[in-house]
Amino acid sequence: MVHFTCDLCGKDLTASADSRFVVKIEVSAAFDPNQIREDDLDDDPMEAVAELLQRDADLSSEDLAAHAPKGFRFDLCPTCRCKFVKDPLGREFVKLFDFSQN
């Protein structure tokens, strides 16, 4: 039997009659397509690919992985789901801390 707990409060969701909610988040680099100009049609795409490969040749696997898409999946109980939907980035939670300005 699969066991589910709320990833925020730890409530056991396996035997509960309450609903279980799934939050899926993906973080990836933004891609803003450029407008194609007349000059772009004259460029050699294989040369551009070779330049990109040469530029990234010295990067370590950690550096490359840092920019790769990353996905997250969380199980939430109904109460935590409501909290998450109201403040998905946790901005209100951060305001509870009084950090010094130094």
**What gap in Å lies between CA 74 and CA 72, rounded to an integer?**
7
Phi first, then psi, for residue 22 (nearest 5°) are -115, 130
**What gap in Å lies between CA 102 and CA 86, rounded to an integer?**
31
Give residue-wise pLDDT tens across range 26-84. Answer: 998 887 777 777 777 777 788 888 888 888 788 888 877 777 899 999 999 999 999 99
In this predicted structure, what is the pLDDT of residue 95? 73
pTM listed for this prediction:
0.63
Locate the domains of the chain by residue range: 1-30+70-89
Could you tell me how many helices (H) and strands (E) the chain has, helices first?
A: 4, 2
- Structure confidence at residue 102 as a pLDDT band (50, 70, 90): low
- Structure confidence at residue 17 as a pLDDT band (50, 70, 90): low
